[in-house]
Amino acid sequence: MPPWPDDALYRYLKAPGPMNDDARLAALVTQRLGIDWTTRHQQIEVTVQNAVVILSGRVASPEVRRVAGDLAWDVPGVFDVCNTLRPPRRRRRRG
C-alpha cells in the first residue's frame, strides 16, 4: 500500500467483509506514518495480515526505521509489527 493516507482510507472504505479490520489498520498505520515528520517523506510500504503490520522499503537511517516501528505499534488493534525496513545501501569506495 502506498504511503498516502487518502489512498489507504479509500481502500479501507471499499474493502468488503472480513478484510475491513486489516484494511482499517493499514489505513491507520499509513496515516500515522504520513503525519509524523520523521517518516512522512520515506518510502514505506504498509501491509497488514491478521492484525500484524508489515513495514517494508528503504528509509534514510536506522533511527527512522525505529520510529516507524514505534508508530505502528502505537496504533490500537495492532497485534504485532514486522519491521523489515532497511537503511540505504552504503556505497563501496573504489580504490
Task: Please write the tens of the pLDDT for every residue from 35-93.
Answer: 999 999 999 999 999 999 999 999 999 999 999 999 999 999 999 999 999 988 777 67
| Domain ranges (residues) in the chain | 5-83
Q: What are the cell numbers at 33?
A: 506514518
Task: Please write the tens of the pLDDT for every residue from 79-91.
Answer: 999 999 998 877 7
**pTM greater than 0.95:** no
Sheet holding 52-58, edge to edge: 43-49, 52-58, 80-83
Q: How many CA atoms lie within 13 A of 48 on its CB side?
A: 27
